[in-house]
Every structure is written in C-alpha cells, then in structure tokens.
Amino acid sequence: MREIVLNDGNKLPCVGFGTYKATNESGYEVVLDAIKAGYRLLDTAKVYGNEEDVARAVKESGIPRQEFFITSKLDRNMLGYDNAKSELENSLKRLGTDYIDLYLLHWPRPDYGKADFDDWKHLDIESWKALEELQKEGKIRSIGVSNFLPHHLQNLLDHTDVVPAVDQLELHPGYTQASACAFCKNHGIALEAWSPIGRGRLSDNAILNSLAPKYNTSIPHLCLVFLHQEGIIVLPKSANYERMKENMALDDMIISEEDMWKIRTMPQVGWSGEHPDCERVYF
C-alpha cells in the first residue's frame, strides 16, 4: 500500500480504518476483519471507547506490532499539560503497547458551553508541549491534531516547537474545507479525512450520481478515490468485509481533471454539523 511521508520522516498508509462507532456491535471482531482485509493504519480515540478492542484485534491477528500504525487522540475535555501526560499513559495501557504511532489533540477547544471553552489557546499550547515531550521520550512517534482550523494551527506554530505532522479533518465531496487544506499543505502538514464518504448524506447528490456510472463505481468509492487523488489519507469505516477491501482499492481508477474540478466545486453538502468554534448543528 502506498504511504505518505510525514514532516517528521515517519510514514503513514494512504488508507486507514476508522473505528468510530465501528465496534459497537461486534467489538474487536470488526477491527480484526479490517486487519485481515489489509488495513494497518487503525484510527481510534479514548472517546470512542474501543482502544481495548483495537488492542485485542492487533494481538489476535498475529502480526507484529511494528507493522501497525495506531492512532489515538486526547479527549477535548482533557486538554492541558498534566492531563495530556496522564491521558497518554492511560491510552498506552488500554492499547497494550509502549508507544503510539500517531497521537492527536482531538479538538482545539473543550465542549461548547464548558467554562474553559474560550481558554483554548492556552490549553492547546500546554497540551502540545506535553506531546512534544512525550514524543522525545519515544512514547509517541508522530504528533498531530484533529479538527484544527488555520487559526488554531497558527496558535501552535507561534508558540511551540514542533509543527503538527497531521491534521485530521472532516473532508469529503461537498465539504472540502479548501482554506484549511491549503494552510496545511503550505506548512507541510499531512491531511487525513474523517467521514470521507459523508456518512451517507451524499447518496442523492446529482453531481456524484452523474459521475459514478461513468467510472463504473459507487458514490462512496468515488468519494474515496477523489480524496486519494488529492493526496489526502482516508479513514473509511465499515463492518462489511467486502466493502472494507473495496475501500482499500483506490488505485484501480483515475478521475479525470475535469471531473475532479466538478467535485471540488460542488455546493456544500453532507456536513456533519460539527465545528470546533460553535455549538453542534443538528440536521
């Protein structure tokens, strides 16, 4: 599988398995199926409540730990220097490992309405300094962020030493976050896409429905190939083994540049309603 070289020299596969809500019913078996399908980048988080499932699947796969790229994240309500240090240790225990390949600040602010919601700049800086130290100690290989927009990233760039290796954003056709992506690319920050197929909200889109038959593919697969061609790491999730394999096969088709522009310039559609600077919007 093709890999992307991060700004710290480490490498990540171009396709990973997203575990958010993916283990609610079958537990670790879903992750184990993903491993059997060929996934080595496994994306989890404390808030997902399935770090133990990921650990069990990795162990039972029989594949050496060093062949995996495990991502976890610091809960947005546990920001701060001391919290970041202790939460990383807790994740290491739940994951049954002595290092995490990629550890992210999950959101730049605590939950909307929390007393420290507006203290995000200080919290992010202190959290990031803790991650920098943990990286030097070898407990984290790469450090990054999730759901950080340019003004959140600039705060880190101005006050800390290590440029984030990754920014994980909601990215899919109809929600490409062009400004945030351009900022990341200009600063050598790799992009990862969560919700890369828009959580089923793109199935009725006229543009995608006109293009999918042209490439003899499905709308979800078209979305993944689009992001893949943009140089973005994708984190699809599925409990279906055949779909897991299909989601990894992203080099089997090429979208023309004309059609790429059609997708890039789609009207906004499929947004989850989640934004780091405001209350969640429910549709």
Tens-of-pLDDT digits for all 283 residues of the chain? Answer: 689 999 999 999 999 999 998 766 567 899 999 999 999 999 999 999 999 999 999 999 999 999 999 999 999 999 999 999 999 999 999 999 999 999 999 999 999 999 999 999 999 999 999 999 999 999 999 999 999 999 999 999 999 999 999 999 999 999 999 999 999 999 999 999 999 999 889 999 999 999 999 999 999 999 999 999 999 999 999 999 999 999 999 998 999 999 999 999 999 999 999 999 999 988 7
Structure tokens at 207: 């543009």
Place of tokens 């920001």: 79
- Identify the three-state secondary structure at position 74: strand
Task: Report the distance separating Cα 254 and Cα 220, nearest Å.
Answer: 15
Catalytic residue among 28, 39, 48, 103: 48
Active site residue 282: no
**CA 4 distance to own-chain centroid:** 14
Structural Rg of the chain based on CA atoms:
18
Of 184, 129, 188, nearest to 159 (Cα)? 129
Which domains does the chain carry? 3-203+224-252 (3.20.20.100)
Does the global pTM surpass 0.95?
Answer: yes
Contact in structure between 102 and 139 (CB atoms under 8 Å)? no
Determine phi and psi for 126, rounding to 5 degrees.
-65, -40
